[in-house]
Structure 1
Amino acid sequence: MSGNTGYAEIAKYFRQQITDGTLAPGDPMPTQKQVREQFATSIATVNRAFQMLKAEGLTAARVGQGTTVADRPRIAATASARLRRISRTGRPYGAREESIEHTADLLSCADPDVADALGIELHDEILVRTRVFVRNGVRTIAAFSFIQPRGWAAVPETLSSEPMGRFWQEMYTERTGRETTKLPELSGARLASRKELEMLHVDVPPYAAVPVLVLTNTFHDEDGPLEHWQDIYMPGLWRPDEE
């Protein structure tokens, strides 16, 4: 990226690096002079980009250290960003990120939205996999994966609560010859369930209403819906604009 680059593009570039974990919490940012030379733009443009990143809570100024990535950036990677990172770098996690508390259960689908996304009848049996993303010691996302029966029939490894080690849909394609396609990522807000609050360790009274950001992704193969994801963000976190 170079030549008359605007401040928003520069901010987006470093925002993605922070989200991906290429720049980890506490890492020094390049100097404004280095960024100016990298993007062949003015120092005023670079300064405005740095101001945007600071305003978003992604960076902080430290005496004697210059600008660094914030210790706890108020941002969490979207599922689409995670998939792009895996494709680009092969890394399933960003810097200082991990997933914990993995579960896998065959359950009756009681959620009309999930049933609709998977193209099944309410109360049909589905596989529900869950995990919690943690970054720099802080819980960021409660992640749910709802999988059609033909998915776990082809890849029975998904029935184990152990981490897969690779994206299970790759194994599905290898074994069935069916390619999968992700529909556009959707975002919305709703009140968190008790289970979601427990996964995120949000301690509030039982009657409290806690709004959360929810991102959904649905995957299809030639036979229809295969998998549906729901990512529930810790209150106070937000997703980056990745368009």
Structure 2
Amino acid sequence: MSENEQKKPGYAEIASHFRKLIADGTLAPGDEMPSMRDVCEQFGVAITTANRAFRILKEEGLTVVRPGRTTLVADQPRAVSTAAARLKRIARTGRPYGHKETSINHTAQLRSLVDPILASHLNVELHDEVVLRTRTFVANGKRTVFAVSAIHVRALGQVPELLSPEPFDRFWQEIYTARTKRPVTKSPERRSARLAYDYELEALGVDVEPGTPVPVLVLVNAFSDENGPLEVWEDVYAPGLWQVDTE
């Protein structure tokens, strides 16, 4: 292969391309997928490669084939993006929400941190004061994720807007980096399961008697700059949902 000859993408790369478009909402449920001929022309590949990529998307439940062999984006009422996937979508598109998604019940306040896991990730002592920001994500009219951000108080010196409950028009860490010139890095996403707290079930609209044990999936993302831990982002998923990443 010459230096000027561009390597053609494989079927996995083509599937990943359309997987991201579906996750971003660029291709929404019910939308028609490009024809095989268009995919072959777009990526410069053979029909067998395009067909294999589409078969992967169908096996993953992302697309369905209708009579006449038309391929449509499938409805996925129980699929919710992971926090890491959400951040990737924001970086790619600038859009904070996916298809038919929004967030409600935003709060922001200085609080004593009582969660030992968050305190450990943020490298502070239990009951130290931190900025706590919460919100509940809603997709297709259903509450899906209760998100808590515990942010080190040193960030307030550069981004005092953190104490306003209003959502930012971009990821707040971008503002922090622009003002401090300090890049922020993210640790690998951590996943675990535990029993939900009553206030989390209330935020997610799960109607059970107080104290009822309800297992939930929890995803934790930690962020740091050169001065140490800066933010811990914990997502608690409503029962019965499954998580989707776009990698």
Deviations 1:187-237 (A, max 9, x none): 222222222222222223435433322221111112111110011223233
Query: Which SS does the other structure have where 1:50 is aligned?
Result: helix
Whether the aligned pair in 2 keeps the contact of 1:25 and 1:73 (CA below 8 Å) is no
Shift in alpha-carbon separation, 1:193–1:61, aligned structure 2, 3 A: farther
Whether the aligned pair in 2 keeps the contact of 1:15 and 1:240 (CA below 8 Å) is no
Corresponding position: 1:17 with 2:12 = no
- Indicate the residue corresponding to 1:90 in structure 2: 94
Given candidates 157, 163, 168, the residue that maps to 2:167 is: 163
- CA–CA separation in structure 1 for the residues paired with 2:69 and 2:103: 31
- CA–CA separation in structure 2 for the residues paired with 1:108 and 1:33: 59
Whether the aligned pair in 2 keeps the contact of 1:183 and 1:219 (CA below 8 Å) is yes
Whether the aligned pair in 1 keeps the contact of 2:113 and 2:130 (CA below 8 Å) is yes
Query: Any gaps of 5 or more consecutive residues in structure 2?
Result: 1-5
Give the AA of the match of 1:21. G
- Indicate the residue corresponding to 2:235 in structure 1: 231
Whether the aligned pair in 1 keeps the contact of 2:82 and 2:245 (CA below 8 Å) is no
Shift in alpha-carbon separation, 1:242–1:94, aligned structure 2, 3 A: closer
TM-score, length-scaled by structure 2: 0.84
- Indicate the residue corresponding to 2:206 in structure 1: 202
Give the AA of the match of 2:26. T
- Indicate the residue corresponding to 2:194 in structure 1: 190
Q: Is the deviation greater in 90-99 or in 40-49? A: 40-49
- Indicate the residue corresponding to 1:220 in structure 2: 224
Whether the aligned pair in 1 keeps the contact of 2:94 and 2:170 (CA below 8 Å) is no
Whether the aligned pair in 2 keeps the contact of 1:108 and 1:124 (CA below 8 Å) is yes
Moved beyond 6 Å, runs of 4+: none
Given candidates 139, 146, 150, the residue that maps to 2:154 is: 150
TM-score, length-scaled by structure 1: 0.86
* Offset at residue 51 of structure 1 (A): 4.0
* Offset at residue 110 of structure 1 (A): 0.7
Deviations 1:47-70 (A, max 9, x none): 444344334332234456932222
- CA–CA separation in structure 1 for the residues paired with 2:9 and 2:175: 43
Corresponding position: 1:129 with 2:133 = yes
- CA–CA separation in structure 1 for the residues paired with 2:208 and 2:67: 37
Give the AA of the match of 2:170. R
Whether the aligned pair in 2 keeps the contact of 1:72 and 1:136 (CA below 8 Å) is no
Query: Any gaps of 5 or more consecutive residues in structure 1?
Result: none
Root-mean-square deviation (Å): 2.6
- CA–CA separation in structure 2 for the residues paired with 1:184 and 1:212: 20
Matches within 5 A, 1:44-55: 44-55=48-59
Whether the aligned pair in 2 keeps the contact of 1:58 and 1:73 (CA below 8 Å) is no
Corresponding position: 1:115 with 2:119 = yes
Query: Which SS does the other structure have where 1:76 is aligned?
Result: strand
* Offset at residue 45 of structure 1 (A): 4.8
- CA–CA separation in structure 2 for the residues paired with 1:48 and 1:73: 25
- Indicate the residue corresponding to 1:100 in structure 2: 104
* Offset at residue 147 of structure 1 (A): 0.6
Whether the aligned pair in 2 keeps the contact of 1:117 and 1:228 (CA below 8 Å) is yes
- CA–CA separation in structure 2 for the residues paired with 1:241 and 1:166: 21
Give the AA of the match of 1:169. Q
Given candidates 5, 8, 11, the residue that maps to 2:10 is: 5
* Offset at residue 44 of structure 1 (A): 5.0
Deviations 1:85-142 (A, max 9, x none): 2222222222322221111122111111111111101011111111122223232222
Paired residues, what number? 242
Seq. identity, %: 58
